[in-house]
Structure 1
Amino acid sequence: MDDSLVFHSNLFVCAVISHGHLVGLTGKVRGVNLGGWLVVEGWIKPSLFDGIPNGDMLDGTQVQFRSVTLSKYVSAEFGGGANVSVDRDVPSLWETFRLWRISTTQFQLRTVGGQFLSCHGQWDTVTATEISPSTSETFNIERDNSNRVHIRLLSGTYLQATASNQLTADYPGKPDWGDNAATFEMTIVANNIHGDYQLANGYGHDKAKEILSKHRSNFITEEDFIFLSKHGINTVRIPVGWWIVMDPNPPAPFISGTLDALDNAFSWALDHGLRCIIDLHAAPGSQNGMEHSASRDGSTDWPTSQQYISQSLDAIDFLASRYAKNPALLGIELLNEPSAADVPLDLLISFYSKGYQIVRKYSPSAYVIICQRIGRADPIELVQANVGTTNLVVDLHYYNLFDSFFFNLSSLDNIQFIYKSRQNQLESLNKANGPLIFIGEWVNEWNMTNGSQLDYQDFGRAQLDVYNAASFGWAYWTLKNDRKHWDFEWNIINNYLQLVHIITDVSTLLSAFRHLFLRVAKLIHEVFAG
């Protein structure tokens, strides 16, 4: 196939339908995210996790152990890197351990400092000094019907809390569930990470593959693209994980199949006049410690490892090389929501600059999207960064949530915040003579309880009024969600979010032309590919 012919045919189609707006679109992006599809987020569809045995002890679950005889908590001195004692009356960070799940009953216990509890055999004293866990850091946790547990070495010896406040592997025989030195009360402090790692490692490979194959086939289908097209949506933002590069044999515990699903999305987009933004949502090691970045235990290890950064750039290279000449590609987002607390700005800008150059190897016009850091960070830091010169976009995520500032706001307060704070920031960024601005995530939901349908309509209208001014456009989070106000489809069908005022007869006509030309582009692509 002659690459130059494909490029020029794509360029022709984009030029005809651009109508003076973004390359390849009849206007700005009016998008919807396909969250919870190719990157698992348990809160979007909790039922995915319903069948996992010991499902409250997944990777990343935070636990504390209290000796029933000493009435003291197990503690990693200094948060890890030293001895382990059983001498604390009140638990805090030193007494909190994150689970690494090995099997239904076997676990490794990670301290807040990153070290693992370790015991090298019978008579040994437990310490917290190992960085890379192995069999000596793996324990069986046996539970009774309440919150009592026994902790046992793989060799069979049970740990006990001694009178000298040590944790040792020398309890004689098998303990019962009474008040003895080998019995502890386990408190689950947090169990809020439900991502790809937790699902796959919780079920095991075969069952996880069955669950995810069904989910990927049914959660998002061609019918959804038809629905979006009919309601004036012109773009889908598709979160993917870094392991897509190695499909069909991704590293454990990740499950294959995301690449085929992404190919399907591009085909459906072409057939129904939509464009695709590929979003690297989950980077190796996790860029923010959250479930949607496939973190194993809530740690943010991505910025600490050059290997992780290189693997992320490899993922960008793979995605750009595979989809650059596909007429449905609008852009590639290099990394979703890096943490301001953990990812240094200079490191992030360097990564974004390298990612930009990688995309440009394969496409002179695909939009390269760089996401703001979440937390305490000003988006102007990326607007002013020297990342690239052509078709560069800065992605902002606007939620009237997740911050105590929004906790007690009324409906009117929330709307005024949109019209004042959000609008002023957007106007300032639009005038900065830098990259285009994209509201890549927003939702018609807030912290206010008992809002009426009219309240939600007014809030949605305010957001659309303001976010329409973003120079690149916006994308709603997300298409489908068990929480109805986060569910774009539910909002539209039930008239809680009204898009009618942004869709005119002219835009409908232009959408039809866009659909027609994308179909032509697809045919051209298929002919030359064949």
Structure 2
Amino acid sequence: MSRQAPRECLKVSSTDIVDADGKRVILKGCATGGHTKMENFITGYPGYEHEMRAAMLKALGREKYDFFFDKFLEYFFTPDDAKFLASLGFNCVRIPVNYRHFIDGRDPSVIKPEGFRLVDRIVDACAAEGIYTIIDMHTFPGGQNHGWHSDSGINKPLFWEFKDLQDRMVNLWIEIAKHYKGNTWVNIPNPTHLHIQVELTFWDKVAGYNPMNEPADPEQVQLQAFYSRIEKAIRQVDPDHILFFDGNTYAMDFSAFKEALPNCVYSIHDYATMGFPAGEPYVGSPEQNEALQKQYERKASFMKTQKVPIWNGEFGPVYANESDEGYQKINDQRYRLLGQQLSIYQKDQVSWSIWLYKDIGFQGMVYANPNSAYMKLLKPWLEKKKRLGLDRWGRDDKHVKHIYAPVIDHFRAEIDESIVKQLYPPHWGLENHVHTQLRDILLSNILTHEYASYFKDKSLEELDELAASFKLENCVKREGLNEILRADAGL
């Protein structure tokens, strides 16, 4: 066999991501959110993942709890899922990870090997289809932001106040970088004729690391220091992989960023309010398209000034389901909105990762079949959850607005507007802060136990069937969305 070719590693070259030959690579793909980082709107539970898991453990007992979640993690993303994503022309998958898969709060100095086995399964399945992966740390101890997706259980990002929490995550990233340094798959030309000499090309399985999802640093300076620290720490053990750094305030604000770090890509998240129930319908007017362009340009200005690549790590509308009045018209509008956003990114040759691959019907490219065991079991609960508006993502308040409006009015009457403007994040306003405390935290936490009660007394066979509802073969493909993504890939 001939001499092995050098391993191909993606890197940053001015405004581009390039391969070992200097050829531009535009990463296009999706996130496996809801899998190694579960979220409430994705699989239907209320509140925070760790609270849901605690309630499920109480309802099921240890043996059944371990069995159900092992099966859920096994079925949610398999080699068949990677094959499907490759058929759309995707070349990259973002893997959101809950730090709890690696760190136990009772013994934070120990890095659990189960976390690597879990992520390796996804990395290897994607590599077999020629798909890169980006490892995204989606949660941090104490919470790197205020949201349910940081899995902190509180409404304040305490991560920024405690150096020992920061130390834990720097140490974890060092171990992750050690594990994935030089992690390769082999491209063999003419593989059916291995009796002749061939040239092996070693490809990086991992495109890079996304060290922190959607940070929210109220002081605007701690994040820069943490990025500098973690960049140095990772580079000491893995000098090659690209780092993908989110902007502050949920990857939307780069105003306090001073300079770009070497071999780093900077990430925006570019959701459009017109893609959500609370936003105005998208009709494609010049004014709406201009607003989309301005929103993107504001977020991307740092990267353009610094002349570094742009990665849109999250975007995408939520979709109505068949029980919603006028659902087809709503979804057609949101497909057109998505197409308009993709045209903006295409013009700037932006890499992107749409949110979301798989769920129970909000955003997913595929979603659990309404006739599956999981969806039939939870139908009464999901109807109640929707009526109560517990999911911030895609929330519709029409059934409960009359309850919360007086509370909001009471707060506004008692709090000076100048004080409200000092609250962080500034784009939330008073209303979102109140809803976070009352609905996302208090009410959702209480009702977590109601969700878990649906699983009580289920047999192992029944739990297996419930988990299998998330197998690709048991899911529905959202063809309207997938055709748009396939077309953007040129297939």
Structures share fold, TM-score greater than 0.5: yes
Partner of 1:216: 73
Partner of 2:439: none
Quote the Cα distance in structure 1 between the aligned partners of 2:113 and 2:239.
Answer: 31
C-alpha contact (below 8 Å) 1:438/1:471 kept by paired residues: no
1:356 aligns to 2:352 (yes or no): no
Partner of 1:513: none
Quote the Cα distance in structure 2 between the aligned partners of 1:371 and 1:294.
Answer: 18
Partner of 1:504: 490
1:445 aligns to 2:322 (yes or no): no
1:10 aligns to 2:3 (yes or no): no
C-alpha contact (below 8 Å) 1:39/1:196 kept by paired residues: no
- Please point out which of 267, 289, 298 is paired with 1:416: 289
C-alpha contact (below 8 Å) 1:248/1:256 kept by paired residues: no
1:386 aligns to 2:242 (yes or no): no
| Displacement after TM superposition at 1:430 (Å) | 4.7
Contiguous gaps of at least 5 residues in structure 2: 184-203, 368-475
Q: Structure 2 matches for 1:92-491, cutoff 5 A? A: 192-200=46-54, 202-204=56-58, 206=62, 207-246=64-103, 257-326=114-183, 327-340=204-217, 342=218, 344-374=219-249, 378-382=253-257, 385-386=258-259, 388-389=261-262, 391-401=263-273, 407-412=279-284, 416-417=289-290, 419-425=292-298, 428-445=301-318, 450=327, 451-469=329-347, 472-484=350-362, 486-489=363-366
Q: Sort the Cα spacing of 1:374 and 1:395 in 2 relative to 1 into closer, same or farther, 3 A.
A: same
Quote the Cα distance in structure 1 between the aligned partners of 2:77 and 2:208.
Answer: 20
Partner of 1:494: 479
TM-score, normalising length: structure 2: 0.62
1:31 aligns to 2:17 (yes or no): no
C-alpha contact (below 8 Å) 2:93/2:133 kept by paired residues: yes
C-alpha contact (below 8 Å) 2:246/2:267 kept by paired residues: yes
C-alpha contact (below 8 Å) 1:276/1:329 kept by paired residues: yes
Amino acid at match of 2:318: E
Structure with the largest fraction of helix: 2
Q: Sort the Cα spacing of 1:208 and 1:374 in 2 relative to 1 into closer, same or farther, 3 A.
A: farther
Quote the Cα distance in structure 2 between the aligned partners of 1:267 and 1:376.
Answer: 28
Quote the Cα distance in structure 2 between the aligned partners of 1:42 and 1:406.
Answer: 19
| Displacement after TM superposition at 1:452 (Å) | 4.4
| Displacement after TM superposition at 1:259 (Å) | 2.5
Quote the Cα distance in structure 2 between the aligned partners of 1:388 and 1:367.
Answer: 10
Amino acid at match of 1:425: R
Quote the Cα distance in structure 1 between the aligned partners of 2:348 and 2:211.
Answer: 20
C-alpha contact (below 8 Å) 2:272/2:292 kept by paired residues: no
Partner of 1:58: none
Quote the Cα distance in structure 1 between the aligned partners of 2:74 and 2:119.
Answer: 11
Aligned residues: 344
Partner of 1:101: none
Q: Indicate the larger mover: 280-289 or 195-204.
A: 195-204
Structure with the largest fraction of strand: 1
SS of alignment partner, residue 455 of structure 1? helix
Quote the Cα distance in structure 2 between the aligned partners of 1:410 and 1:14.
Answer: 37
Quote the Cα distance in structure 1 between the aligned partners of 2:244 and 2:151.
Answer: 21
Q: How big is each residue's C-alpha offset from its partner over 1:6-25, in whole Å with a ceiling of 9 and x where there is no partner?
A: 9x7323x769xxxx853378
**Whose relative contact order is higher, 1 or 2, with alpha carbons under 8 Å and at least 6 apart?**
2
Q: How big is each residue's C-alpha offset from its partner over 1:20-79, in whole Å with a ceiling of 9 and x where there is no partner?
A: 853378631102001011112121001xx5xxxxxxxxxxxxxxxxxxxxxxxxxxxxxx
Partner of 2:372: none
Amino acid at match of 1:301: L
| Displacement after TM superposition at 1:246 (Å) | 4.1
Q: RMSD of the TM alignment (CA)?
A: 3.6
C-alpha contact (below 8 Å) 2:39/2:48 kept by paired residues: yes
Contiguous gaps of at least 5 residues in structure 1: 50-191, 506-530
Q: Sort the Cα spacing of 1:504 and 1:289 in 2 relative to 1 into closer, same or farther, 3 A.
A: closer
